[in-house]
Structure 1
């Protein structure tokens, strides 16, 4: 597989992952962190870092909006729930 094709496939996989996470608003970031070690905010940070490597300035809030599909505060108000004690405990143990 040539580099251009690989990059195009990887880009589509990323878009599909982001779209999947946008539709699975029932999956909380803490659950993602506890199970996979990354969450939507991590993706946002990685997106911002990749943009900066290309010389593109992108704020963390703008990167989050790309990943969440809306401003983070809007997503948080609509979908984020309070983490349970077991979720918080698992997070503390793994980090």
Structure 2
């Protein structure tokens, strides 16, 4: 497979993932994604921002989050996010440390 085709397929898969998270499963909480998969929507937006910045494209955290969430982050939180219990929060702290690093 040539590089152009590979990149097009990777981009299509990424768009499908975003669509799935935005349209089909907005109910899936970030904490559950992080606890089970080691990443969440915020990770995706950070990776997107880092890729843009590496290409010399200025992008803020908020701009990247709006791409991944399909709306401003604060709106998504208000519409979709639920409070996590203590068990999920403790698991999140472990998953975050293992997959992202120490909390700032």
Question: Following TM superposition, by how much is the alpha carbon of 1:53 offset from its aligned partner in structure 2, in angstroms?
Answer: 1.0
Over the residues paired in the alignment, what is the CA RMSD in angstroms?
0.8
For normalisation by structure 2, the TM-score amounts to 0.88
**Aligned residue in 2 for 1:60:** 61
Counterpart for residue 22 of structure 1: 22
Using the TM superposition, give the Cα deviation of residue 92 of structure 1 relative to its aligned residue in structure 2, in angstroms.
2.5
- The alignment status of 1:12 with 2:1, answered yes or no, reads no
Match in the other structure for 2:100: none
1:73-88 equivalence runs, <5 A: 73-88=74-89
Unaligned runs of 5+ in 2: 98-104
Deviation at 1:39, TM superposition (A): 0.2
Q: Give CA deviations for 1:1-23 in whole Å, capped at 9, x if unaligned.
A: 00000000000000000111112
- Runs of 4+ that moved beyond 2 A: 92-95
Structure 1 residue runs of 5 or longer lacking an equivalent are none
Q: Distance in 2 between matches of 1:39 and 1:93?
A: 14
- CA shift at 1:61, angstroms? 0.1
Residue 34 of structure 1 is matched in structure 2 by 35
Q: Which residue of 2 aligns with 1:69?
A: 70
Instruction: Give 1:93 shift.
Output: 3.3
